[in-house]
A and B are shown apart, each in its own frame.
Chain A
Amino acid sequence: MERKIFFHPERCLACLSCMLACQMKSMGISEVRNLSREQRPRHRMSITFDRGTPWVWVCQHCLSAPCVEACVSGSLRREDGGKKIFHNLENCVGCGSCVLVCPYGALQYDEQEKRVVKCNLCLEESVPPCVKACQTRALVYQEVNSFAGEKKKKFAQDLGRNRGADR
C-alpha cells in the first residue's frame, strides 16, 4: 500500500512550518537565514480555515488523477506503478488545465516560471520535509490503511475506557 501525506486537524497549530519547509526545499535552501525577502515561490501546499479549524491541502496523488487526464503536455504522469503523480517541470507548458480540474488546489500556476508547480512528495528524501518540519505530527507520511488503522485504534481505546454501565 502506498504512503500518502495525511493530516490531523486537531493537532495543527497553523504555524505554517510545513509550508516554509516546502518553499525552502523547492528553492534549494537549507538555512532560513538564506531566504530573501523577494523570493516567493508558489506554494505546493496551501492552508485554509473553516470556522477556526485549519486544513492543510497537499497533493493527494490520486489513483485516477484528474490532473493526469487533463495534462496536454504529458508532464504529469503516474510513477511507481500508479502510486505517485510526478510533475516534470521542464515539460510543463503552463496551460493550466490541471489547475482547473484538481479538487484540492494542489497545483498552482507560477507567473515567473510560466509553469505549474505541484508536490512531488520529495521522493529523494526518506520523509517529506513538510512532514519532518511539523512540530505536532499533524502532518504524517503513512501507508493509507495504516493511517486508518491508527484512527480505529484510537476510537477503540476511547470506547474501551468509557463503557459506563456495561462494566
Chain B
Amino acid sequence: MGKETMSIFAGGYAGKILYVNLTDGSIEKRPLERDFALKYIGGRGFSSRILWDELETKTDPLSPDNRLIIAAGPLNGTPTPSASRLVVAAKSPLTGILGDTNSGGYFSPELKYSGFDAIVLRGRSSSPVYLWVRDGKAELRSAKHLWGHKISETNHLLKEELGDEDIHICAMGPAGENLVRYACVITDGEGAGGRCGMGAVMGSKNLKAVVVRGSQDVGIADPKRFKEAVDAYRQTLEGEVWTDVLRRLGTANLVAHRQKLGIWGAKNFQRATIEGWEKISGEAFRERFLVKVMGCMGCMVRCRRYSAIKEGPFAPTYTKGPEYESINSLGAKPYITDPAIILRAHYLCDEYGIDEQTAGSSIAMAMELYERGILTKEQVDGVELVFGNGEALLHFIEKIAYRRGFGDLLADGTKIMGERLKADYYAIHVKGLEVDASDPRSLPTRALTYAVSTRGSCHLRGFPYIDEFIKPEEAKAYFGTEAVSNLESLEGKGKMVAWSENWVTIPNLMGVCIFAWNRSRSFPMLIRRGLELMNEIFVATTGLPMTKEELYHCGERVYNVEKLFNVREGFRRESDYPPLRFFEEELPDGPGKGSKLKREEYDQLLDEYYEARGWDQKTGIPTPATLKALGVP
C-alpha cells in the first residue's frame, strides 16, 4: 500500500504486469521492462505486442491458448485530463484477426492503483471463476454463484461478497457465457468494451469478471512540469466547440450531422437518410430521457448520459447512454425511429453483454434478407422480421444472448450469416467486423479508413476528417501537396489516412480519451495538443526520454505490429477493401445521392496508402525495411 510500486519508473507506470494462467490457477507478477515501455508505451501498444509475441498462428480464439489482455496506459490514474480509458484485447472470435476494445469509466485508473499496468490471462479454468486484484495481490475465486447473471446483478453480488462498494468490475454477461461471437465486456455496468467479442473470449475461459481495487500511488516524476503541461493541455480544450456539444448532447449529437450529409447506413445500408430522424436525435433523447450528464474519471468533457424511461411499456428502465452508435446500430440500421425502443434495446445489450453494433447490424441484415425472401418466416422463428419492427429487435436481442432459435445464427455475426445463407453481399463488414459510424460511399477517404483498420471496419483507427479543415499551406507542409486540403481531390489522401492512423493510436497507448484529445478544427492543434503536449505530459509523468517524433513512431510501430498479426493469420490486400455493396450500388437518396465507390479510384487510394506505409503494393505486407526502421519485431 502507499508508495511501494515505482520500481524502475519514476512515475506513471505501476511497473508490473499480472500474468494469470486459468488452467492451473498460477499467478505471476512480471516486471514491466523499460525498453518495452519506451517502444510500446502502454494500453493498445502492450496488448498488440503481447498478442503478437504469445499467440501462435491460427489459434482458435475460443481455445485456452488465446490471451485476454486488459491494459492501462502510463497516464491512467494521474490528473491528466480524461485519462480514463481501458484496453481489452484478444484474438477475436468474430473476425479471426486481432481484436481490441477501448472503454472509459473508472476501471483503468483503479487497475493502476491496484499496482498493475496490465493483466494477461491465458488458459481455461475448469470451473467458473473471477479474478480479484487488490493492492498488488491477486486471487482467483469461484464465480459459480455469478454464472448466468446479467451485468447489474453480477456487479451487485460482487460488491456484496467482497464487502466493498468501491470495487471496479469488468464483467461479461450471459452472452459471453453462451459464446456469442460478439459478446462484450462491460465495466462497472456502464462502459462497454464492445466490439470484437472480448466477452466470448472470457466465456471460453470460464472467467466471469475481473475485479480491481487499490490504494497505491501513481507517481509523477516531475510534478512542476506535469502541472504546467496539464494546464496548457486543459486550456486547449476550453475553447473547443466540440466540448460543449458533447457535454450537451453526448455522442448522439452526430445524428443531425449524419442526416445533414446523408451518410446513414440505414436499412442495412439501403438508405442514406432517415424519415423521422428528429425523433431519435441528440436533442430528442436529451429532452425525453436524460436524467444526468455523466462522465469518466478526470474528464472535463462529460459526454456520457444517464437516461431513464419513465413512462410507457418499457418503464422503468435506467441506463447509461444512448450513444450515437446505439442510435445508429439499433435505430438507423434496423430503421427504427422509436427512441424508447432504441434505449431499451441498448439497455438489454448492456445487461446481456452484447455488442450493440454487431447485434443491430446482424438483425438489420436479417431484416433485409427477410424482406427479399431469402429468409422465410419459419427460419426467423415466426417473427415478422421487417425493417422498423422494434419488438422484433428487442425479441432477438434476448434470443441472441441465449443462442435460442434464430438467435443462434444471429449470434455469429454478419460474416458467418452471409456464408451460411449464401448471402455475402448483404453482410456489410470488413474482415468480419460490421461497418459502423457512417456510409462512406460519398466519402472515399472514410471508406479507406474503415477498410484498412487493423481490427476490421472501424472509424476510430484513423482520422480522415483532416481534409475538412486543413489549410492548403499546412497540407503542403505535412503531406507534400495542397490537394490534401481539397475535399474533392483524392490526391495525397492515402498518405493522410496513414499519418492519421499512427497519430490516433497514441491516445490508445496513453489511456487518454480521444474526445479530449483529437477534437479540433485546426490542424496545428492536432500536432500541438495531440503530439507536443501529450508528449510533454508523458515525459513529466514517467521521467522517460521521448520526443514527439518518437512518440508518433510508437503509434506507427504499434500499427505495424497489428498489421503483422493479421498478415500472419493470412490476410492480404484483398481484405483491405470495403464491402461490395459500396462499389455496386449508388446511394439512393440524400445529398450524396448517386454516389458510390469507384474501383480504380479506391485502388489508387490504397496504393498510395500502402506506399505511405512502406507496405508491399501487391500483398499489403510491411516490407523488411519498414519493420527494421521501426525496430519490429
User: Do A's and B's CB atoms come within 8 Å in the complex?
Assistant: yes
Could you list which residues of chain A lie within 8 angstroms of chain B, going by C-beta atoms? 1, 149
Residues of chain B within 8 A of A1, CB atoms compared: 1, 215
Residues of chain A within 8 A of B166, CB atoms compared: 149
List the 3 shortest-distance A-B pairs measured between CB atoms, nearest first: A1-B1, A1-B215, A149-B166
* Closest chain A residue to B166, Cβ basis: A149
Q: How far is the CA of A1 from the CA of B166 in the complex (A)?
A: 15
Q: How far is the CA of A1 from the CA of B1 in the complex (A)?
A: 8
- Which of chain B's residues 181-225 have a Cβ closer than 8 Å to chain A? 215
Q: How far is the CA of A149 from the CA of B213 in the complex (A)?
A: 15
Q: How far is the CA of A149 from the CA of B215 in the complex (A)?
A: 14
* Closest chain A residue to B164, Cβ basis: A146
Q: How far is the CA of A1 from the CA of B215 in the complex (A)?
A: 9
Q: How far is the CA of A64 from the CA of B340 in the complex (A)?
A: 60
* Closest chain A residue to B1, Cβ basis: A1
Q: How far is the CA of A149 from the CA of B163 in the complex (A)?
A: 14
- Which of chain B's residues 482-501 have a Cβ closer than 8 Å to chain A? none
Label chain B's interface by main secondary structure: loop
- In the complex, 3 of the A-B residue pairs with CB atoms within 8 angstroms, ordered by the A residue number, are A1-B1, A1-B215, A149-B166
Residues of chain B within 8 A of A149, CB atoms compared: 166
Q: How far is the CA of A149 from the CA of B166 in the complex (A)?
A: 10
* Closest chain A residue to B2, Cβ basis: A1
CB-CB contacts of B409-433 with A at 8 A, as 1s and 0s?
A: 0000000000000000000000000
* Closest chain A residue to B165, Cβ basis: A153
Residues of chain A within 8 A of B1, CB atoms compared: 1
- Which of chain B's residues 50-103 have a Cβ closer than 8 Å to chain A? none
Residues of chain A within 8 A of B215, CB atoms compared: 1
The minimal Cβ–Cβ distance linking A84 to chain B, given in whole angstroms, is 16
* Closest chain A residue to B215, Cβ basis: A1
The minimal Cβ–Cβ distance linking A80 to chain B, given in whole angstroms, is 13
The minimal Cβ–Cβ distance linking A3 to chain B, given in whole angstroms, is 13
Q: How far is the CA of A149 from the CA of B1 in the complex (A)?
A: 18
* Closest chain B residue to A150, Cβ basis: B165
Q: How far is the CA of A129 from the CA of B511 in the complex (A)?
A: 48
- Which of chain B's residues 550-584 have a Cβ closer than 8 Å to chain A? none
The minimal Cβ–Cβ distance linking B362 to chain A, given in whole angstroms, is 42
CB-CB contacts of B134-168 with A at 8 A, as 1s and 0s?
A: 00000000000000000000000000000000100
The minimal Cβ–Cβ distance linking A152 to chain B, given in whole angstroms, is 12
The minimal Cβ–Cβ distance linking A143 to chain B, given in whole angstroms, is 10
* Closest chain B residue to A153, Cβ basis: B165
The minimal Cβ–Cβ distance linking B50 to chain A, given in whole angstroms, is 34
Q: How far is the CA of A131 from the CA of B166 in the complex (A)?
A: 25
Q: How far is the CA of A149 from the CA of B165 in the complex (A)?
A: 11
* Closest chain B residue to A146, Cβ basis: B164
The minimal Cβ–Cβ distance linking B337 to chain A, given in whole angstroms, is 33
CB-CB contacts of B264-307 with A at 8 A, as 1s and 0s?
A: 00000000000000000000000000000000000000000000
Q: How far is the CA of A1 from the CA of B135 in the complex (A)?
A: 11
Q: How far is the CA of A149 from the CA of B164 in the complex (A)?
A: 11
Q: How far is the CA of A1 from the CA of B213 in the complex (A)?
A: 14
* Closest chain B residue to A145, Cβ basis: B215
The minimal Cβ–Cβ distance linking A67 to chain B, given in whole angstroms, is 25
CB-CB contacts of B243-267 with A at 8 A, as 1s and 0s?
A: 0000000000000000000000000
The minimal Cβ–Cβ distance linking A4 to chain B, given in whole angstroms, is 16
Q: How far is the CA of A128 from the CA of B215 in the complex (A)?
A: 26
The minimal Cβ–Cβ distance linking A49 to chain B, given in whole angstroms, is 34
Q: How far is the CA of A141 from the CA of B166 in the complex (A)?
A: 19
The minimal Cβ–Cβ distance linking A146 to chain B, given in whole angstroms, is 9
CB-CB contacts of B1-23 with A at 8 A, as 1s and 0s?
A: 10000000000000000000000
- Which of chain B's residues 16-50 have a Cβ closer than 8 Å to chain A? none
The minimal Cβ–Cβ distance linking B216 to chain A, given in whole angstroms, is 12
Q: How far is the CA of A163 from the CA of B295 in the complex (A)?
A: 22
Q: How far is the CA of A127 from the CA of B1 in the complex (A)?
A: 23
Q: How far is the CA of A9 from the CA of B544 in the complex (A)?
A: 52
- Which of chain B's residues 405-463 have a Cβ closer than 8 Å to chain A? none
Q: How far is the CA of A1 from the CA of B164 in the complex (A)?
A: 14
Q: How far is the CA of A23 from the CA of B578 in the complex (A)?
A: 80
The minimal Cβ–Cβ distance linking B9 to chain A, given in whole angstroms, is 25
